[in-house]
Structure 1
Amino acid sequence: MIEITVVGAHLTGLALNHELVGHGGTFLRAVGTRPCYRFFALAGGPPRRPGLLRVAGREGASIAAEVWSLPDDGFGRFVAGIPAPLCIGTLLLNDGTTPKGFLVEPEGLVGAEDITRFGGWRGYLAAIAAPTPV
């Protein structure tokens, strides 16, 4: 089994979670990243997609994530379907683990909105769904 960290539409109950489940995925834990990431809503879509970018020093924040476990063959099939500018790399998590997970290539940040302040994808989705005061 290979651990994979998700931060967007693959989270439990969201639109793409069925892809993890369909490849034999099992939810392991909810955890934040270490505070060395910036989080972005990428341009384009639908669907809306986030991008997680590792940054230097104190320029980042902890971002909400989930860790799932996939069988070797399911991991391979899952990763093969990930479109650019997203990619898989090693994430640093608050629980001290370093599983593989979703990152974004810097080129994917063109036209992206920095949403780090929301602390995660669910926080961002809640903010854009809430009515704006007039």
Structure 2
Amino acid sequence: MGATGWARPAAHPPSGEAGPEELAIFVSGAPMSGMALNRELVPLGARFLRSCLTAPSYKLCALAGGPPQRTGLSRQAQGSRAIAGGLWALPLPAAGRFLAGIPAPLGLGSVALQDGSEEVGFIYEPIGVESGTDVSEHGGWRGALEQLAAPRRMTVSAASK
């Protein structure tokens, strides 16, 4: 760079957009910032683009297994909602390594976002529903985790006194 002879840093596209050598990927569970599987994205050179929502046509399922517990999205004709998540840019050379580590019943597929765009995201095979739990009512994985961690109130009926 200039008279220093240092290499010029790679130019990144404007914040919120993936570059031509990157794959934009929507995550809605453990790979999100601060979550257990984010460590699988960051070492591959992924960079956070922005928080966003799916179109209001998805179901979020907490899949059996773990730890860490994984989630997947399923597009629905009805009984669905917008699900919160994050969009990441993953360098194309790392995309194959990332894909190779995704366990069944998860896969990558097209996810419609609230802004009208379609991005790659985690979806699940129908068999995942059989042993998973629908957590869509919480609007996203962070909301589901907060609900699970909240202390439960016990009600004592008059008959048990």
TM over 0.5: yes
Matched residue of 2:31: which SS?
A: coil
Partner of 1:104: 124
RMSD after superposition: 1.0
Identity of aligned residues (%): 48
TM-score by length of 1: 0.95
Q: Does 1:44 align with 2:59?
A: no
Residue 122, structure 1, aligned to residue 142, structure 2? yes
Higher-Rg member (1/2): 2
Q: Runs of 5+ in structure 2 lacking a partner?
A: 1-21, 155-161
Distance in 2, matches of 1:47 and 1:110, equals 19
Which amino acid counterpart does residue 45 of structure 2 have in structure 1? G
- Of 115-124 and 40-49, deviating more is 40-49
Greater relative contact order: 1 or 2 (C-alpha under 8 angstroms, separation 6 or more)? 1
- Residue deviations 1:112-134, cap 9 Å, x none? 21111000000000000110001
Spell out, residue by residue over 1:13-61, the C-alpha distance to the aligned partner (whole angstroms, 9 max, x if none): 11111111111100001100001111111122222111211111x3210
What is the TM-score normalised by the length of structure 2? 0.80
1:41–1:48 Cα contact (<8 Å) kept: yes
- Residue number in structure 1 paired with 2:26: 5
Which ranges of 4 or more aligned residues in structure 1 deviate by more than 3 Å? none
- Does the CA-based 8 Å contact 1:43-1:110 persist in structure 2? no
